[in-house]
Amino acid sequence: MEDGTERWLNHYSSKQQILLVGEGNFSFSLSLARAFGSAANMTATSLDTHEELRKKYGTEAVANVEALKALGCTIMHGVDVHAMSQHIDLRSKRYDRIVFNFPHAGANVICRALEGFMITDNQVLVRGFLKNAGEMVKEDGEIHVTHKTTHPYNMWGVETLGREVNLCLVKEVPFFVSYYPGYVNMRGCTMNSDSTFHVGNASTFMFRKV
Ligand SMILES: C[S@@+](CC[C@H](N)C(=O)[O-])C[C@H]1O[C@@H](n2cnc3c(N)ncnc32)[C@H](O)[C@@H]1O
């Protein structure tokens, strides 16, 4: 693995500088890092502090973080996608890929049943992510948002949100959790944050700068 050979897992390569944001239990990052070995050039981040991570997801998430560190990945906590382009440890870096899987602004107990319909809050989140990511991605880099494509999630208008911040959709490809060994997608910011959810039809939306 340390011989300079390029390793791939689906759209991602060990030669790419990858920034992952909005991680849940860090299992997606770890899936990539394990495929890349110690050649990984990854920074994996979450909105949660280390303490919140432990409380929400328990020891498995902490173990995932430790495994990522052992593979040479950078881990950052408390990274808000609305402000990440100004983050002191991120603002001078440029990335080949910036990835946010299943962005969600959260839902409390009362609106849990309606979470897919909380469109405005979620559009604000995705637009904020795309705007910041557009300032951090290399000229030929890509920004990836993985999102459900069924109703009501398709009403978020992910492609339009990209256009609003000068990004163009270059590709939309079907997403399957099984493509990423060990990845367990998490609710994260809704009640039962430590449980997974059914993905169903979902796509990775790939954007580039206009
Ligand atoms: C449905 S969960 C998906 C978690 C993880 N990406 C996965 O695929 O398992 C939504 C995630 O969005 C994150 N999130 C919500 N608002 C955020 C923000 N402003 N900045 C960074 N992450 C945010 C939550 O912390 C949560 O981890």
Check pocket membership of 80 for ligand 1, CB cut-off 6 A.
Answer: yes
Instruction: Tell me whether residue 22 is in a domain.
Output: yes
Confidence of residue 190 (pLDDT cuts 50, 70, 90): low
The whole-angstrom distance between residue 43's C-alpha and the CA centroid of its chain comes to 11
Whether residue 3 is contained in a domain is answered as no
pLDDT in tens, 29-53: 999 999 999 777 899 999 999 999 9
Out of 46-60, 83-97, 109-123, which region has the weakest mean confidence (pLDDT)? 109-123
Q: Are 51 and 82 in contact (CB under 8 A)?
A: no
Supply the range of the domain harboring residue 132.
Answer: 8-209
Task: Give CA angle at 62 (56, 63), nearest 5°.
Answer: 135
Note whether residue 168 is domain-resident. Answer: yes
In a domain, 2, yes or no: no
CATH code for the domain of 63? 3.40.50.150
Atom of ligand 1 nearest to the CA of 81: 20
Domain count, the chain: 1
Task: Tell me whether residue 92 is in a domain.
Answer: yes
Compute the distance between CA of residue 204 and CA of residue 144 in angstroms, rounded to an integer.
6
Examine residue 192 and state whether it is found in any structural domain, yes or no: yes
In a domain, 177, yes or no: yes
Report in angstroms the alpha-carbon separations of 191 from 94, 143, 159, 185. Answer: 34, 28, 28, 15
Contact 81 CB / ligand 1 (< 6 Å): yes
With CA atoms as reference, report the closest residue to 55 among 28, 25, 30.
Answer: 25
Res. 114: pLDDT tops 70: no
Model pTM score: 0.95
Q: Is 50 in the pocket of ligand 1 (CB under 6 A)?
A: no
- Cα–ligand 1 centroid distance for 106 (angstroms): 8
pLDDT for the residue numbered 10: 97
Is 191's pLDDT higher than 70?
no
Q: What is the largest CA-CA distance in the chain?
A: 53
Report the chain's mean pLDDT, rounded to a whole number. 93
Does any ligand 1 atom lie closer than 6 A to the CB of residue 186? yes
Going by pLDDT thresholds of 50, 70 and 90, the confidence category of residue 192 is confident
